[in-house]
Amino acid sequence: MSDVHSNSKFLVGIYDDDDVVLQAVKDVRKAGVKIHEVYSPFPIHGLDVALGHPRTKLGIAAFLFGLTGTLTAISLTFYTEGYDWPMIVGGKDSYSPIIYIPIFFELTVLFSALGMVATFLLSNGLGPTVKPLMYDLRTTDNKFAMTIDMSKNDIGEGDIESILKRSGAAEVNIKQF
């Protein structure tokens, strides 16, 4: 939440419906207002596109962590059974990669999943000691909030308020951090 400066002033438009807020995002942006963020109790399909957020690159993280897992598994099995203490069990070669495929697979998945989730938490600034910035407590229940950072907009407060109202906002509040 580094993009929020102390004593920033926000206009918070509260909406009752997910379809309304999705359309409102398009309308408000068309009206020339820069939207800070939208908060919702559940994911709204297409909202990130409407807001113009860039596509997430977490897939690359998942891939790279997975690759690390595979390489770890290959090195672990090679070091232990191919190099450090070669052993022939069940008539197989001391290092027999076909047999290690389950290990390769499990470590790939483990590393990929944990690494990606960790990246997600870090990149979104989530953690057990984080105090969330809640613009409206009802956004985890049944309301949708569109927040406008006043310091980033040249349009006057009254104008934005009427744009929000026209786009379907049930109420418009002011929130100061």
Partner 1 sequence: MGLGAGVVLVALGCFLAASGGGHETHEVAHAAGAEHAEGVAHHAYKWTNRLWANVWLNAIYFTGASVIGMFFMSYNYLAQAGWSVAFKRVPEALPAYLPIMGIVVLAVFFLAGHDLFHWTNPALYDTASPEYDPIIAGKHGFLNTPFYVIRVALYFVLWYVLWRMIRSYSLQEDLSGGTDYYYKSLRVGVIFLVVFAVTSSTSAWDFVMSIDTHWFSTMFGWYTLASWHVTGLAIITLTVLALKERGYLQIVTESHLHDLGKFMFAFSIFWTYVWFAQFMLIYYANLPEETIHYREIFSGFGGIYKAPFFINLTLNFVFPFLVLMTTAAKRTGIILKVAAWGIVIGHYFDFYVNIMPGTVGSHGGFGPMEFGMILIFASGFVWSVYSQLEKANLVPKHHPMLEESLHHDIN
Partner 2 sequence: MSHVTSAVRTPLVTGGKTYADVTEDISRQVEGKPTREWTIAFTIAVVVLIYGAACVFWTWWEGLGVWGLNKTVGWAWDITNFVWWVGIGHAGTLISAILLLFRQKWRTAVNRAAEAMTIFAVICAASFILMHMGRPWLALWALPLPNTFGSLWVNFKSPLVWDVFAISTYFTVSLVFWYMGLLPDLATIRDRARSKVSRYIYGAFSLGWNGSAKTWARYEYISLILAGLSTPLVLSVHTIVSFDFATSVIPGWHTTIFPPYFVAGAIFSGFAMVQNLVLIIRVVFKLEDYITVEHIESMNKVITLTGSIVGVAYLTEFFIAWYSGVEFESYAFINRATGPYWWAYAAMMTCNVISPQLFWSRAIRRSVVWTFTLSVIVNIGMWFERFVIIVTSLHRDYLPSSWAMFHPTLFDISDYIFSFGLFFTLFLLFSKFLPVVNMAEVKTVIKSSSEKLPASVSGVAKGERVTSPTFNKNID
Residues 66-125 that bind partner 1 (CB under 8 A): 90-92, 98-99, 101
* Minimum CB distance to partner 2 smaller for 50 or for 160: 50
Which residue(s) pair with 12 in the sheet?
147, 173
Query: CB under 5 to 8 A by kind: which of partner 2, partner 1, none does 74 bind?
Result: none
Does position 112 interact with partner 2 (CB under 8 A)? The reply is yes
Residues in CB range of 35: below 8 A, 6 or more apart:
25, 28, 29, 51, 146, 147, 148
Does position 10 interact with partner 2 (CB under 8 A)? The reply is no
Please select the residue that binds partner 2; options are 5, 127, 154, 176, rule is CB under 8 A: 127
Which amino acid is located at 117 in the chain? V
Tell me the window of 5-13, 43-51, 153-161 that interacts with partner 2 (CB under 8 A): 43-51
User: Contacts from 44-51 at CB under 8 Å and sequence distance 24+?
Assistant: 44/18, 44/144, 46/22, 47/21, 47/22, 50/22, 50/25, 50/26, 51/25
Tell me the window of 4-12, 79-87, 148-156 that interacts with partner 2 (CB under 8 A): 79-87
Is residue 66 a contact partner of residue 108, using CB atoms and an 8 Å limit? yes
Sign of CA dihedral 141, 146, 152, 154: negative
Query: CB under 5 to 8 A by kind: which of partner 1, partner 2, none does 17 bind?
Result: partner 2
Does position 45 interact with partner 1 (CB under 8 A)? The reply is yes
Binding site for partner 1 (CB under 8 A): 45-46, 49, 59, 90-92, 98-99, 101
